[in-house]
């Protein structure tokens, strides 16, 4: 929600409304019934004061919009009977400009339909009383322009609210993604530190044997290298089920590569579990060759799984989801 500097804006709008009320007070003694002129001014001031100053949110209630429409209906009927034809074109018809301020404020405060309904009704009454030839002299153009300005400001505020909301959502998502990446990195560091003793043991064994490792030791070293690669590159793909299936596949001679740029940490647990299930299914059923699992940003999909049997030029599996 946009926080507007309400007090300065309200004072400016109300001052403009007071100007027309002042015209009404000034011309009331010239009316056939001056008391009705003053009553009209009081009715107008009450409606515009509530519309401008009441309610904390930008949108006023529908019932207040309806009241303003009724004021726009009643005010011309009261005053028109008090004005002589000679007063047409003077500020004796102050209520037309006053209704522009009232209905413009109504449109600004998100009751656009009531505002334009008031314009239509007031226009019809002005035409019936003053005639089409005096419409442009009556201040009617100012009435319409004020409501257009109010609606334009309302639309601008709505667009700004949507833009701010979208920016807040984007910032929150970026912050959450950064946090998840940080958690992933911490998990990778912990996993790597956990593997350090195994690496140290293998290095000591290699040094003791002067690099002449047995076949079992070579296989173990290759598996250890693959495990380290998974822990550093695998991100959210590194779970027990995936690691277990990858290790068994490597023992069969299948090359398995797990790469996650950190985007999988942004998924829901149910989505991530489904991806793990698919990866396990592909790796488990691959008999030879190579399986590559990539989770990279900038694509329409979250994960791609590509599998080639040994010697094949065309993948036997090429999934993107």
Residue 140's domain spans which residues? 6-167
pLDDT of residue 181: 65
Claim to verify: residue 153 and residue 230 sit in the same structural domain = no
- Structural domain contains residue 287: yes
pLDDT at residue 275 tops 80: yes
State the pairing for strand pair 317-320/290-295.
unpaired
pLDDT at residue 224 tops 80: no
- Structural domain contains residue 179: no
Q: Is the pTM of this model over 0.75?
A: no
Residue where a domain terminates, one of 111, 142, 167: 167
pLDDT at residue 204 tops 80: no
pLDDT at residue 202 tops 50: no
Claim to verify: residue 97 and residue 228 sit in the same structural domain = no
- Structural domain contains residue 201: no
96-122 pLDDT, tens digit per residue, is 888 888 888 888 888 888 888 888 888
| Cα–Cα distance measured from residue 150 to residue 139, given in angstroms and rounded to the nearest whole number | 17
Cβ count near 156 (within 10 Å): 11
- Structural domain contains residue 70: yes
Answer whether 72's CB lies under 8 Å from 140's CB: no
Claim to verify: residue 133 and residue 263 sit in the same structural domain = no
- Structural domain contains residue 54: yes
Kindly list the distances between the CA atom of residue 227 and the CA atoms of 230, 238, 318, in Å, as whole numbers in the listed order: 5, 10, 24
Number of domains composing the chain: 2
State the pairing for strand pair 255-260/317-320.
unpaired
- Structural domain contains residue 111: yes
- Structural domain contains residue 108: yes
Claim to verify: residue 142 and residue 240 sit in the same structural domain = no
Claim to verify: residue 162 and residue 226 sit in the same structural domain = no
Claim to verify: residue 285 and residue 217 sit in the same structural domain = yes
User: If we measure between CA atoms, which residue out of 317, 180, 297, 305 comes closest to residue 236?
Assistant: 180
Claim to verify: residue 145 and residue 294 sit in the same structural domain = no
Answer whether 318's CB lies under 8 Å from 301's CB: no
pLDDT at residue 206 tops 70: no
Claim to verify: residue 121 and residue 27 sit in the same structural domain = yes
Claim to verify: residue 151 and residue 219 sit in the same structural domain = no
φ, ψ of residue 304 to 5 degrees: the values are: -120, 135
Tell me which residue has tokens 């005053």. 79
| Cα–Cα distance measured from residue 227 to residue 221, given in angstroms and rounded to the nearest whole number | 10
Tell me which residue has tokens 């009081």. 42
- Structural domain contains residue 285: yes
């Amino acid at each position: 929600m946009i926080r507007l500097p309400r007090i300065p804006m309200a004072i400016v709008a109300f001052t403009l409304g007071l100007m027309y009320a002042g015209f009404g007070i000034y011309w009331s003694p010239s009316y056939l019934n001056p008391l009705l002129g003053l009553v009209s001014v009081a009715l107008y001031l009450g409606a515009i004061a509530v519309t401008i100053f009441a309610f904390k949110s930008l949108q006023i209630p529908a019932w207040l919009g309806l009241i303003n429409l009724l004021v726009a209906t009643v005010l011309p009927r009261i005053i028109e009977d008090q004005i002589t034809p000679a007063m047409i074109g003077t500020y004796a018809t102050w209520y037309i400009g006053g209704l522009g301020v009232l209905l413009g404020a109504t449109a600004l405060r998100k009751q656009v339909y009531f505002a334009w309904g008031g314009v239509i009704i007031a226009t019809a009454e002005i035409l019936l009383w003053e005639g089409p030839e005096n419409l442009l002299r009556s201040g009617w153009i100012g009435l319409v322009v004020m409501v257009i300005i109010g609606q334009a400001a309302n639309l601008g505020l709505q667009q700004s609210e949507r833009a701010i909301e979208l920016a807040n959502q984007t910032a929150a998502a970026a912050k959450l993604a950064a946090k998840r990446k940080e958690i992933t990195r911490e998990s990778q560091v912990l996993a790597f530190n956990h593997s350090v003793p195994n690496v140290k043991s293998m290095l000591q064994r290699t040094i003791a044997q002067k690099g002449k490792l047995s076949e079992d030791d070579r296989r173990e070293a290759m598996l250890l290298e693959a495990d380290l690669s998974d822990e550093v590159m695998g991100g959210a793909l590194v779970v027990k089920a995936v690691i277990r299936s990858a290790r068994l596949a490597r023992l069969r001679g299948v090359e398995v590569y797990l790469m996650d740029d950190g985007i999988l940490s942004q998924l829901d647990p149910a989505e991530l579990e489904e991806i793990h299930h698919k990866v396990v299914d592909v790796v488990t059923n691959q008999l030879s060759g190579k399986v590559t699992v990539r989770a990279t940003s900038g694509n329409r999909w979250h994960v791609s799984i590509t599998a080639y049997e040994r010697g094949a030029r065309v993948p036997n599996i090429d999934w993107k989801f």
